[in-house]
A and B are shown apart, each in its own frame.
Chain A
Amino acid sequence: MLSNIVTITNLASYAGAGLCIGLGAIGAALGEGYTAGLANHAISQKSKKSGDIIKNMLVGQAIAETAAIFALVIAILLLFVKMPSTSILKAAALFGAGICMGFGAIGSGVGSGFPGGEACLGIARQPVMAGRLTTNMLIGSAVCQTPAIFSMVVALMLMFMDFSKMPVSPTWAALIGAGISTGLAAIGSGFGGGKAAGASCEGIARQPESIAQVTTTMLVGQAVSQTPAIFGLLVSFILMFKTFPEAVALNASMALLGAGICMGFGGVGPGIGNGLTAESAVRWVSRNMRATGELTRIMLVGQAVSQSTAIYAMVISLVLIFVV
């Protein structure tokens, strides 16, 4: 029986490692490609500034790459760190960790590509603002990376926490659900935060004197875009830390797995939507600075409505965990 558990744990760990780096490579590659594409565009407009543009492109791509590096680190840990496999729950936790980091890297990778590319175009447009544009790009893409960092935190907790005292059923479903919840919810927030950051780099290049208002609006918009990822993290923490009473019946397990799926998918749309709203608000703050107050207000109202569906998903997740 013990050798059986070891086999299943290895199996889950290798499958998780494959999914982790396979999914995790998607986003960063897309984001870096977008940055490089716009960098080429920028150099075609202003070839004299190609040095600055290439430097900015490489810095931007390095940030987008971090999401994939997180996934690579988790995949390598899953492949080579031998976990004490005393309980079948370790297998569920390791598989959940792989899914979590794999999905979680997609949004941040794609999202970080937007500010990178727009900053390259901005340098071609306003060469004197090159330093400020790179700084703004770094701030914006750092915020984009937070959902990937949330995913890495959850993945590491799933890998290294000791669940062996917990009842196998339904905790196995809670652990996989915890991975799905943060992993999927991170996609929307990473993508949305990137949209806002891209618009801010474009805006600063268009209207350099609006830099203070643009950066502030970007950060407010990105903060709201992050909330679905934070909801996902919250549901994951509840699923990991709550001790569930032993239940052999399938329905208790499915409720916990359903809670993770619900919050995970439910966070994708609002994260992207909040980002689209923030993108337009930032873009128009730079074009019409006098309307900054109005634009911030309408952005927050629009985001609040878009957020409501993430809140429904969280409510259903919490009902699935605590009520049924």
Chain B
Amino acid sequence: MAIEGVEIIKAAAFLGAGIAMGLGAIGPGVGEGYVGGKACEAIGRRPEEAGLLTRTMLVGQAVSESTGIYSLVVALLLLFVV
């Protein structure tokens, strides 16, 4: 019975890892794409500021990425630590 309990916990952890990374990837994907789109718009208006705009886009995307990385970390914890 004890072994069965461990198995169920492992099963839940694996399924949870998939759900965590899967759902967690939606927001950053959409958000970073939106930032990329706005950066294209800004460069279209002022191509001479491309360097500054690229930098700002990457910083904004990096912050937006953080929640995706949280999901990745939680998924890896569920897979290998729990």
Contacts and interface: CB of A to CB of B under 8 A. Distances in A.
- Report whether chain A binds chain B: yes
Interface of A: 188, 192, 228, 249-251, 253-255, 257-281, 283-285, 287-288, 290-291, 294-295, 298-299, 301-303, 305-310, 312-313, 315-317, 319-320, 323-324
A117 to B, nearest CB: 19
Nearest to A282: B40
A261 B22 contact: yes
Contacts of B8: 250
B26 A268 contact: yes
10 contacts: A254-B12, A255-B11, A262-B17, A262-B22, A271-B29, A274-B36, A280-B41, A288-B47, A301-B57, A307-B29
A119 to B, nearest CB: 21
Contact of A305 (B25, B36, B40, B53): B36
Nearest to B3: A249
Nearest to A289: B44
Given A264-B22, A265-B22, A324-B14, A312 B41 contact: no
Interface residues of B, number: 52
Contacts of A267: 25
B64 to A, nearest CB: 9
B15 A258 contact: yes
Interface of B: 7-8, 10-12, 14-19, 21-41, 43-45, 47, 50, 53-54, 57-58, 61-62, 65, 68-69, 71-72, 75-76, 79-80
Contact of A306 (B18, B54, B61): B61
A41 to B, nearest CB: 23
A249 B7 contact: yes
A306 B57 CA distance: 11
Contacts of B47: 288, 290-291, 294
Given A302-B37, A305-B58, A253 B53 contact: no
Nearest to A270: B29
A258 B19 contact: yes
Contact of A298 (B15, B16, B22, B40): B40
Contact of A295 (B7, B33, B44, B68): B44
A310 B25 contact: yes
Contacts of A270: 25, 29, 33
A106 to B, nearest CB: 14
Nearest to A323: B79
A275 B41 CA distance: 14
A143 to B, nearest CB: 17
